[in-house]
Amino acid sequence: MMKSTYLLLLFLLISMISFAEEKRIAANFIFEKSEPASGLPVNTGVYHFKFSDLDKVDLSARITLSCDDGMNETIQLKKGAFEYQVTEGSHRFVIYVNDNYFEVYSHNLPLVANEKHYYSIRTFRTEGMQIEVDKPIIYLYPESTATFEVNVEAKGEMAFTYPPYNENWTGTMHPNGNLEIEGEVYKYLFWESKQEMDALNPKETAGFVVTSDNITSFLEEKLNYVGFTASERADFITFWGPQMQKEEQVFVTFHQDLDCNAFAELNISPAPDNLHRFYMSWGAYDGNHIPKAQELTPFQREGFTAIEWGGQEIPTISNTLSL
Amino acid sequence: MRNALIIFSILTFAHVQAQPGGDFYENRQMEDMKRLVQFHLIDTAFQSDYSQSESQFVFQFENLMSSDSNAFISYSIDSVNYDGQLSAGQISIMTTPGNHSFQFYLNQNYLEVFSGILSIPAQYQHTYSVILFTRRAEVPIVTYKPVIYLYPETETTVEVELEIHNGKNPFYYPEYNENWTCVALPDGNIEMNGIDYRYLFWEAEQADHLEEIEVNEGFSVAGEDAVSFLEDKLTQVGFTSEERADFITFWGPKLAANENSLVRFEWNQTCDKFAELNITPQPDHVYRFYIFMSAIDSEVATQPQALPKFNREGFVALEWGGQISNYQPNTSL
């Protein structure tokens, strides 16, 4: 069907589901068929689950499963499938394959005695997602008025630039941060791009877990600490704050300076005395792991200083069943 | 026995049309994770009087307005279109055993719904509950990023009071307590509690404006023209280059991401609908300028909107903001 109709639909679905408590439960379990099954104990039925899109190497993985919030059970897949025998009624499942996939949650799946119910399970990979690097903006603060050339080589396709970018941005920069390009004055240079990234994993990455009501104070504290000016901080917080505050809890990790080359290479001439890049990766997180606290490095703002900030929302692994 | 009523709640999901290729498909990975179930299997019953080649689906629509419980409905089975009529909010469709996919369009008050592949055995009747989404319901959307700039003629202590109308989950920056009290400078700097800001910011979830009005004037904008369109309109209205950059870096990517958008602006008093803005001392000119955009399938012919021209003499306050609307001229089925 038409793209915008579909986007519209998605938008509504998402906005509605975010009110729902069962937010984590994506529709990953797809009912295929049911058939009579013989030889089962009384009042018992069996589920047949088959993963539809596992990697070959994971087709006989040992998975962890919890039925109705019960104990974790370990089960060996055969050709990506397994069966689970249980009393008739409704049951819900959480299944963890390994950290290459997000944990999957089912709704209540009804089961009838002496029947076998087939479901296929969709998984979502934690690697290689297309993520938008949002709003990196670049400020230049020279010591005296000078011409500049800024070159960005994003690791993905440039989705949007402003002022329009053609091979580079060139213009005249002023100590107050004003950038003159073709007769217009800008406070910053702006670009966005789409890139392939992996999910965030709070168990492997140093960072912070922040609840919704603490977002603004958290960001203020961290940005003050690294040395954002008030106006840079307001640009950052008014962009990211509202998005993050919508989530009950988020995981946040920052990237500084050379680490940001993973998103884009940035070349400025003349070379600034201090070039500081500061990116934030974050995602809604409903796990309870306390990540290792991340150490941040304050900016040096002496001499000709260039600051770039940006960030990306990335799905975050909570995988509560993994050990 | 097998034809006893078995209460199921097997779930299938709002079908994500596979659209191979294109940005949309790539973007989907994240969206997929948040998919919501729209078709619930609530009942299955064996029907001994059906033949081996007969099965029946019953769809029971939820969230239906009472006036629509016997409405005419357009639907498709496996991409073949039919017309039918609801009876007490239900429609029964005889078909063959196996896999089928359905699409329903009721009327402009509801979004079209797509089933995934629904599978049915011979001689069975499966009843699904179908959750409809109403288009004109109070589905709140975000009124994004109104930022307020203040440009007094001399350094002035200014009190800015904002009364957001029917807004949920507001976000303010800097912190808002009954009002923002600040010292505003002629160059636009805003000093509050010893810290300099360039603007005051708020955001809230509110009703979808374009769904509430008759959109008879506006602009049809192709994604590739996003920047030049905005530059042109904002310059014409009288934004400074700095304000324009703030506006374009926020709205430009959103507009550029759509192949085509319907764009409409609202300004000044009309924006009281979203929030009342009171500034003391009273500026010589308070300008508010909001953009409303919705993604559309193809260009639409619209009467272009005549835009205002701001007078920037004296103490000027400027606010801009907007919404990404779900408004659609009706299409498809």
Residue in chain B closest to A134 (alpha carbons) equals B253
Residues A90 and A133 in one domain: no
Residue in chain B closest to A136 (alpha carbons) equals B249
Identify whether A243 is part of a domain. yes
Q: B197 to chain A, minimum CA–CA distance in Å?
A: 5
Residues A223 and A300 in one domain: yes
Identify whether A12 is part of a domain. no
Residues A55 and A104 in one domain: yes
Check CB contact under 8 Å for B29 and A108: no
Identify whether A223 is part of a domain. yes
> Does A16 reach chain B within 8 Å, measured CB to CB?
yes
Residue B68 to residues B112, B251, B327, Cα–Cα distance (Å): 15, 38, 21
Identify whether A208 is part of a domain. yes
Q: Could you tell me which residues come within 8 angstroms of residue A184 by beta carbon, excluding any fewer than 6 positions away?
A: A163, B241
Helix (H, G, I), strand (E, B) or coil at B257: coil
Helix (H, G, I), strand (E, B) or coil at A69: coil
Identify whether A214 is part of a domain. yes
> Does B121 reach chain A within 8 Å, measured CB to CB?
yes
pLDDT reported for residue B2: 33
Q: A180 to chain B, minimum CA–CA distance in Å?
A: 10
Over 90: is that where the pLDDT of B20 sits?
no
Q: Could you tell me which residues come within 8 angstroms of residue A111 by beta carbon, excluding any fewer than 6 positions away?
A: A45, A46, A47, A86, A87, A88, A89, A90, A91, A117
Domain that holds residue A50: 20-121
Over 90: is that where the pLDDT of B142 sits?
no
Residues A78 and A134 in one domain: no
Are B206 and B290 in contact, with CB atoms under 8 Å apart?
A: no
**For residue range B57-79, what is the model confidence (pLDDT) as tens digits?**
999 998 788 888 899 999 999 98
Max CA-CA distance within chain A?
86
Residues A218 and A282 in one domain: yes
For position A86, which CATH number holds?
2.60.40
Check CB contact under 8 Å for A4 and B297: yes
> Does B164 reach chain A within 8 Å, measured CB to CB?
no
Residue in chain A closest to B202 (alpha carbons) equals A238
Check CB contact under 8 Å for A33 and B248: no
pLDDT reported for residue B328: 81
Nearest to A2 among B6, B248, B332 (CB): B332
Identify whether A321 is part of a domain. no
Tokens of B116: 């995934």
Helix (H) / strand (E) containing A186: strand A184-186
- Please give the angle made by the CA atoms of B102, B103 and B105, to the nearest 5 degrees: 145
Task: For residue A179, list its beta bridge partners.
Answer: A173, A186
Helix (H) / strand (E) containing B63: none
Residues A158 and A253 in one domain: yes
Residues A102 and A133 in one domain: no
Nearest to A30 among B34, B36, B116 (CB): B116
Nearest to B173 among A33, A129, A238 (CB): A238
> Does A315 reach chain B within 8 Å, measured CB to CB?
yes
Residues A114 and A238 in one domain: no
Q: How far apart are CA B13 and CA A283, in angstroms?
A: 24
> Does B220 reach chain A within 8 Å, measured CB to CB?
no
> Does A224 reach chain B within 8 Å, measured CB to CB?
no
Residues A51 and A194 in one domain: no
> Does B214 reach chain A within 8 Å, measured CB to CB?
no
Residues A89 and A165 in one domain: no
Q: How far apart are CA A135 and CA A125, in angstroms?
A: 25
Quote the DSSP letter at residue B66: G
**For residue range A70-108, what is the model confidence (pLDDT) as tens digits?**
999 999 999 999 999 999 988 989 999 998 898 888 877
Taking the mean position of all CA atoms in its chain, how far away is CA B197? Answer: 31
Nearest to B31 among A10, A30, A216 (CB): A10
Identify whether A285 is part of a domain. yes
Q: Per the structure, how many domains does chain A have?
A: 2
Q: How far apart are CA B202 and CA B170, in angstroms?
A: 7
Identify whether A15 is part of a domain. no
Query: Which chain A positions have a beta carbon within 8 Å of B140's beta carbon?
Result: 15
> Does A164 reach chain B within 8 Å, measured CB to CB?
yes
Over 60: is that where the pLDDT of A6 sits?
no
Residues A161 and A109 in one domain: no
Residues A304 and A265 in one domain: yes
DSSP letter for each residue of A111-174 = E-TTEEEEEEE---BSSSEEEEEEEEEEEEE-SS-EEEEEEEEESSEEEEEESPPBSBEEEEE-
Taking the mean position of all CA atoms in its chain, how far away is CA B143? Answer: 10
Are B81 and B74 in contact, with CB atoms under 8 Å apart?
A: yes
Mean pLDDT along residues A135-143: 94
pLDDT reported for residue B193: 92
Query: Which chain A positions have a beta carbon within 8 Å of B34's beta carbon?
Result: 13-14, 17-18, 23, 26
Q: Could you tell me which residues come within 8 angstroms of residue B269 by beta carbon, excluding any fewer than 6 positions away?
A: none
Q: Give the residue among B320, B309, B141, B189 at the shortest CA–CA distance from B247.
A: B320
Lowest-pLDDT range of A109-113, A279-283, B282-286? A109-113
Are B226 and B204 in contact, with CB atoms under 8 Å apart?
A: no
Query: Which chain B positions have a beta carbon within 8 Å of A9's beta carbon?
Result: 14, 111-112, 114, 133
Residue-range domains of chain B with CATH: 6-131 (2.60.40.1120), 141-324 (no CATH)
Lowest-pLDDT range of A284-298, B6-20, B152-166? B6-20
